[in-house]
Each structure stands twice: as C-alpha cells, then as structure tokens.
Amino acid sequence: MKLKQILAPLRSASPRMRILLSVAIGALLLFASGHVDELRSYQGAQVAIYAIAISSIVLLTGFSGQISLGHGALMAIGGYAAVLAQIHWHLPYPLTFLVGGAAGAGAGYLLGIAAARLRGPYLAGTTLALAVGLPSLANQFHILGGEQGLSFDIGTAPTWIGNDFSQYRWFFWVAVVLALAVYWLLRNLLSTRYGRRWRALRSNPTAAALAGINVARAKVLAFTLSSCVAGLAGSLFAMLLGLVAPLAFTLTLSFTLVTGAVLAGVSNLGGSIVGAVVLVSIPELSNAISSHFGGSEKVTSNLPGVITSVLLIATVLLAPNGPKFPTRRHQ
Amino acid sequence: MNTFFSTILVGISSGAIYSLMSLALVLVWRSTRVVNFAAAGQAILSTYIGYEAMSALHNYWLSLPVALISGALISAVIESFIMRPLAKRTQGTAVESIAPVIATLGILGLIRSLVGLMWGNTFLQYTSPLSSKGFTVGHTTIPFSPLNAAIVVGAAIVLLIFALIFRFTRLGLSLRAASFQPEIARLSGIRVDRIRTVGWAFAGAAGAVAGALVTPTSYLSPNSLDLLLVSGFVAAVIGGLESLIGAVVGGLVLGLGFAFILQYIGSSVTFSAAFIILILVLIVRPQGIFGARSTREA
Amino acid sequence: MTLVVQGLEVKHGAISAISGLSFTIRKGELVTIIGSNGAGKTTLLRALSGLLPISHGEISWNEKTLIGKRPEELVRRGIVHVSEGKAVIPELTVSENLQLGGIWRKDRSDVAAATAEVIELFPRLGERLSQGADTLSGGERQMLAIGRAMISRPELLLLDEPSLGLAPLIIDQIFSAIDALRHRTNLTVVLVEQNAISALRIADRGIIINLGRHVTTGTPSELLNDPALRAAYLGY
C-alpha cells in the first residue's frame, strides 16, 4: 500500500478527528521517548521546535505570498522575552512561552505594518537586515547579557509524571505537546475565512482586493501570527539550549529555517515536520562525512552549512514549488 | 579643521563603500528584478581571492584588480548557471518572485561555508600599505586617515569608469535598454540574456571593490561583509533601487548619517539607526529619493 | 524573397490564438492584416518576430525557416518588429532610442547614413535628439519607433497598430511615411491595423483573419467593394 493511501484518512479528517489523531500521535511519541537515549530525546525536541519555526514560515510564505529571511531574529525576540520574563517577572515557565509568543507577535506586528505596504525585495531585505543586526544589538545591551547571554531554566519534570524522567526527555515532552497544539491550531485556522483570504491573497492579490479583502490588513495579520509562532519557537529553543545568546540566533539560523520551509514545500504545513527532520539530521550526516575524512576544525564547522545551502539551492532549482509529499496541499 | 568637517570626510569615505555595494544590488535589480543577497558572499569570495593575490604578490594595489575581475567572473557564473535557469523554470508560476530571493540566500550560505572550509573561520588581517591613523592637521589628529582617502579615490575611480561606460558606450546603452524594456531591447537586436550576465558581472565587480576597500579597515572572515550588505541594501532603498545615481547618493547619505551618529551619539546605536532609517524611508518615501514611478509593488 | 506562413498554430495556454493560418507575402509587398479585436493579429506578428513560440506550422523567409529563432537573431536577418503601443524606451533620449536600432550592426558608417535618412524623413525627431523620449507626443513616439526599426535596415518590417491612439492628421503622416519608406528601400511590410481603411489605402493586399483563422485575401478594391466584408470586418 502506498503512503498516499495510508494517509488518506488523515487528509479527510474532521477537526475533532484531528484532535484525537494529534493526541494519539503525541501519546505514541511520548511513549517512545522513554525508550531512547538522551541524544535522541534532544534531537526529537529539536525536530519539534524546528517544525514549529518552519510552520511559521510556511504560514507566511505559503499562504500569504510574503517572504521573510529573518525569522531567526523573531525567534531571538521570543527567546529573550521568555528569559527576561522569567528573570524579572518570575513567571512560571508555561507563561514565559506565552510571553515569547506575544513578543514575537508584537515585533511582527510592527514589521508587518511596514511589510504590508511592501512586497518581494523590500520585505526580504528588511527582515534580512533584522537577522544580521539583531544579534549584534543584543551584544550591546547590558540587560540582554551581552555575548554570554542569559541562562534559562524551566526546571525538571514534575514528579507526577515520573521520577526517573530525564531532562531532555522532559524538554521533548514540552516541545512535542506545543508543536502538536500549534499544528492543530494552524490547521484549523487555515480552514477558516482567514485561511481562505490568505490563500486568495497568495494566488492573486488583485483579485483578492477586488473581492473586498483588505489586503494590507490580511498581510499584517499573517505576518503577526507567523511572528507569534516564531517567537514561541524561539522560547522553546532557549529552553532546549538552557540560555539565550546572540550566537544562538545568527543569520545561519534564519537560512536554516528558510531551507526547512523550502524542503517542506512552501505551501505545505504538514511538510514542516519533514523539513525539521532533515535539518536535524544534517549535522549528523555532516559529522559522519567529516569524521570519515578525518575532519579538521574547518571541515566540521563548515560542512553543515555547505550541505544546507546545497540542499536549498538544489530544491529551489529542481522543485521551485517544493517537493511533493503525499499530504494535503492547499493551492 | 574642526570635528564637523572631519566627520563629513569620514562619512564620505564609508559612504563611498556603501555606494559600491548599493550599486552592486541596484545593477542586478535593474537587470533581473532580483535583490541579490548573495552579493555579500560574492564579495567575500573575491576579497579572499584578493587576499591570496596580496600574499603572493606582496602588493595591495595589484590585489585590487584581481579581486575586481574575480568578482565579475563569480557573479557572471552565478547568473548563468543558477539564476537564469531558475528564472526560466519559475516564469509565470506562483513562486516567480520568491524563488530567486531564496536562491540568492542559498548562494550566500554556500559561499560563506565554502570560504570557511578553504580559509577557516578565523579573522584574517588584510593590511593595506596606507596608515589607518588619522591625518594630523595643525596640532590635532582627525579620524580621517590616508586609508580613508585611498578608499574615496578608489571608489570614485570605479564609479567614474562605470558612469562613463553606462553613459557613453554601446554596451552601456544595451545594459540600460535591457533593464528598462527587455522586449524592445530584444527587438532591437540586443542579446538580452548575454547582456544580463554582463550586468551581473558589473555588479560583482562593484561588490568586489567594496569588499577589497572596506576590509583593510577591519578584518576578513567568512561573514565580515554581512553588515556591508545591509548598509548597501539600505542605501539602495534610499536611492530608489532603480537608479544608479540614486544608489551612489543613497550610499553617501547613509555614510554621512552613520559618521555623525558615530561621532555625536556613539557606535552602539549604528545598527538600530540603519534599521530605523530603512523603515522610515519605506514608510515615508517608499519610492526612494530618485524613484519616480511606483515600483515598490512590482 | 518571400515570407511563407503555412499551417501556423499559436497557443495561449490551452487556447489556440491562431490555428491553421497560411499565406505568402512577396518581396516588396505591403500587406495589411485586418481583423477585429482578438482576431489574433498581434499574436501573429509576435510569432513572426520570434517573441512567441509556435505550436505547429512553418514560417520561412527567403526559404529559410524562422522557427525557434529568437527575436534578436531575426533582427540580424532583416526581420524587424515594431511592437504595439509606441515602442520606445521612455527612460532613454530620442538619440539613444535611435541608436538602439543600429546597436548590433558592424557597419557603423551605414548606421550613420541610416540615422541621417530617418532624421530627414522625420525632422521633428532631429529637433528633439537630446530630449527624453518620454517628452514626445504620441505621434512623435511612433515616428521614433519606426525610425529606430529603419536604422536596422530591415528587409521585412512588421508594424503593429502604428495608428493606435493617434489623431487623424498624424495617422495620415505616419501612413504616408510608411508608404515613402517602402518605395525608397524596396521593403516588405506586414502591417497590422484596426484602422483598415487607412491601411488599405497604402496596401497592395489585405488579409482578413477572424478568431485566428484566415477569412479571405484580396486587393484593397476587392475587399472594399465586398459589402459583406465591409459590414463584418471593415466597420462601415
């Protein structure tokens, strides 16, 4: 049986079915986490976080036709906001994630106001400028902890889950639960009238405007929402790393996310997970290759970048509309 | 000489470099409607090649033409082998405007990593024979140095040559015609595909000179030109993205702005200032200083 | 020296804009293509000049096929297309627009001679050489577009709606200039026109097409004296 047929019931699932499915998948994953080592748990959490971040780009690019090259910067904003909320407001960690998302949304709204008037090169350039400049900005403000950054600790798993729950397994749980929640929310949102508007906007902005859609407002909303999701991903990223620092949110992170979104197929929300798995496996692959060649420092630190970039260029050249996956596609 | 005038001189010196990078972006935008974010990567690669030439020849001045020519070649290769096939494949599809932007990002990432593989991620010193210590006027030393003066002269020569080519040669006319109205250019017998490659080569040369001139003022590493890319983009937006003169003026305006901010406010706000200038220009005068038509939506 | 079009088919996506069109134009002829809006006239010219790919059929000039040749190569073979709507580049000066016509040519002295001839034919261009083309009137722009094409020394000139949006007096000027040019240089002209009466006045023959298909061919008097054709395609 083809994968397509296996996934057929998934595509036609009703919202309630999707909840049940999400819960089932989540339970399965969480059960599995008890049987793998710490590295795999760490990578699993990484996949979940990347999937959230990639879905934020898919949301923006695939469904509203805008492009951002600076989502790494929005993740940084979310990450720093979450950490600052913990340090200065002593918020419990679930709330710090919300603060991260809200900070992303706020920054996205401000950018979106400018972005709504712009298209193509201007938004891309502005977000790229943000991605290049923001880490250096963080370096200069004392409150942001400078080069060393600030540490972030959400603590260990609560005892009611189990006693021998490892740190990374706990991070994995948190990330997976939030990733499934985000996926479920976005999926449903895209089937509302907002989702239809964004799709109309992407396929034909002029027709969308003639049909009475406020193009500017729809774009600002899309950018704000996307930034909110990126901010949430940023705070989870901070959780996984245990800190926020300028070096964690470099231009390379923004590149990586765009690569993930392109690999996912830019209008395919379900593809986010595929993109995330590929991104997480790149360093593994790269390590394998470089150790095979007795890799020097130069090779180990640059090979992942080479692989990521080649993947990005090749995908754009060979399948500009994104690779085809047997999942539901919004056109 | 007082601080005010020396600040202007410093501003012109850095502005000249922004002008070149901005020109690199505008030339590509005009010929293929793509903002080439790979420009920083191309300039980095040509600067490393210039660095090798300098080490081999023991002469900074001879390394400049080496960097310039390799920059032009790198750019032409990227246009011929990646950007043109991509444009043909995506023509008329929903990703027509997005795919090239993503591709340039990929090229930027690829060049940075390859440069890291070749030369390592350490900071290299790229020294010019000229002192970066300021001139002494009367009893005071001003921030404007012989190196700054050389940057202004070097950039001015390159800009002048470009202007002469664009204004007075058949090649320049072909480049302009192909960027304004490709169809009419083709119907006039201009081989537009080839001319676009030449346009990219000119852009690569401009970026290469920017990289080779700015690097002696700091250091060389795989991502040391990222901020130059942002400055070049802001300058291009100020100039309207369409106009070559606008690109140069935009660069000078930004250079002067930075110099005064640095002198009177401090270096910590330079980036935020660039970003705020960018957003303000986009909101208040989206067509830039020299852009007359409404091209922002295109 | 003939232009032969045989079984031509051109598609816009899935729709055939031109299907099964065949005709022959002899050297030195001025043939006007007549048809209502959407008949496929502009599509035909764009296919002839290489701007549009064709799906079927054959186009040849001097017994050599033109299929698969790009417009910039066809210009070098003497086939020059003045596209619809005053085909000048407004950002360039009048002089620069004229230079474009000879930009690919090796024989620089003949380019200079051709430019002088164009200025003699259209003295108003000569007075405005250093002005931007955007400052010209509609009629002057059309003169500039035709002048630029003439500097390429065409053997086959493809003109798309040169009268579009011009005042009657200017239209007469343009048409008599076209007439003068073809007699002076033994030029073959394919003239696409909505304004059939003016075009037939200077044409040797007219080809009427409708919905991308050939309707009829005839001399101007044959076409003008057929009441059915007059009612259906000539608009009076």
In percent, the amount of chain B with pLDDT more than 90 equals 49
Q: In three state form, how does the secondary structure of chain C look?
A: CEEEEEEEEEEECCEEEEEEEEEEEECCCEEEEECCCCCCHHHHHHHHCCCCCCCEEEEEECCEECCCCCHHHHHHCCEEEECCCCCCCCCCEHHHHHHHHCCCCCCHHHHHHHHHHHHHHCHHHHHCCCCEHHHCCHHHHHHHHHHHHHHCCCCEEEEECCCCCCCHHHHHHHHHHHHHHHHHHCCEEEEEECCHHHHHHHCCEEEEEECCEEEEEECHHHHHCCHHHHHHHHCC
Which residue from B minimizes the CA distance to C149? B188
**Chain B residue numbers touching C87 (CB-CB < 8 A):** 184, 187
Question: How do residues C80-99 score in pLDDT, each as one tens digit?
Answer: 999 887 789 999 999 999 99
Strands C56-61 and C2-12: antiparallel
**Taking Cα atoms as reference points, which of C189, C138, C196, C193 lies closest to residue C160?**
C193
| Range 102-141 of A in CB contact (< 8 A) with B | 113-114, 117-122, 124-126, 128-130, 132-133, 136-137, 140
Chain-chain contact of B180 with C76 (C-beta, under 8 angstroms): no
Question: How do residues C37-71 score in pLDDT, each as one tens digit?
Answer: 778 888 999 999 999 988 899 999 988 898 889 99
Whether residue A68 lies inside any domain: the answer is yes
Judged against a pLDDT cut of 60, whether residue A10 lies above it is answered with no
Chain-chain contact of A316 with B99 (C-beta, under 8 angstroms): yes
Residue of B27, B35, B83, B113 to mutate, interface with A, max A Cβ within 10 Å = B113
Question: How do residues B106-152 score in pLDDT, each as one tens digit?
Answer: 999 999 999 999 998 888 887 777 777 778 877 777 878 888 888 89
Q: How confident is the model at residue A35 (pLDDT cuts 50, 70, 90)?
A: low
Q: How confident is the model at residue C74 (pLDDT cuts 50, 70, 90)?
A: very high
Q: Does B184 touch chain C (CB under 8 A)?
A: yes
Question: Average pLDDT over chain B, rounded to whole?
Answer: 87
Domain segments of chain C as ranges: 2-234
Nearest to C152 among B181, B189, B192 (CB): B189
Q: How confident is the model at residue B294 (pLDDT cuts 50, 70, 90)?
A: very low
Mean predicted confidence (pLDDT) in A68-90 = 87
Residue of A117, A118, A128, A144 to mutate, interface with B, max B Cβ within 10 Å = A128
Domain at C2-234, CATH homologous superfamily: P-loop containing nucleotide triphosphate hydrolases (3.40.50.300)
Domain segments of chain B as ranges: 3-284
pLDDT value at residue B91: 79
Residue of A61, A220, A293, A313 to mutate, interface with B, max B Cβ within 10 Å = A313
Secondary structure letter of residue A13 according to DSSP: -
Q: Are C23 and C190 in contact (CB under 8 A)?
A: no
The subunits that touch chain C, with at least 3 C-beta pairs less than 8 Å apart, are B
pLDDT value at residue A172: 79
Chain-chain contact of B176 with C92 (C-beta, under 8 angstroms): yes
Q: Taking CA C138 as the corner, what is the angle to CA C132 and CA C140, rounded to the nearest 5 degrees?
A: 60
Nearest-angstrom CA–CA distance, B265 and A201: 43
Whether residue A324 lies inside any domain: the answer is no
Chain-chain contact of B113 with A309 (C-beta, under 8 angstroms): yes
Mean predicted confidence (pLDDT) in C13-34 = 89
pLDDT value at residue B298: 32
* Residue recorded with tokens 């343009």: C174
Chain-chain contact of C72 with B189 (C-beta, under 8 angstroms): yes
Domain total for chain A? 1
Tell me how far CA of residue B148 lies from CA of A258, B10, B17, B163, C82, in angstroms: 38, 7, 10, 22, 51
Nearest to B94 among A120, A203, A301 (CB): A203
Q: Residue B141: helix, strand or coil by DSSP?
A: strand
Whether residue A21 lies inside any domain: the answer is no
Question: How do residues C122-169 score in pLDDT, each as one tens digit?
Answer: 999 999 999 999 999 999 999 999 999 999 999 999 999 998 888 889
Lowest mean pLDDT across A2-11, A190-199, C217-226? A2-11
User: Does A94 or B178 have the greater pLDDT score?
Assistant: B178
Strands annotated E in chain A? 150-151, 243-244
Q: Select the CATH number that applies to the domain covering B3-284 from these four: 2.115.10, 3.60.21, 1.10.3470, 3.40.50.
A: 1.10.3470
| Range 259-288 of B in CB contact (< 8 A) with C | none
Judged against a pLDDT cut of 90, whether residue A160 lies above it is answered with no
The subunits that touch chain B, with at least 3 C-beta pairs less than 8 Å apart, are A, C
**Chain A residue numbers touching B268 (CB-CB < 8 A):** 140
Whether residue A37 lies inside any domain: the answer is yes
Chain-chain contact of B188 with C83 (C-beta, under 8 angstroms): no
Chain-chain contact of C51 with B187 (C-beta, under 8 angstroms): yes
CA distance B239 to chain C (A): 17
Q: Could you report the predicted ipTM of this complex, rounded to two decimals? A: 0.91
Which residue from C minimizes the CA distance to B194? C72
Q: Which domain holds residue A155?
A: 29-250
pLDDT value at residue B295: 40
| Range 187-226 of B in CB contact (< 8 A) with C | 187-192
Which residue from B minimizes the CA distance to C70? B186
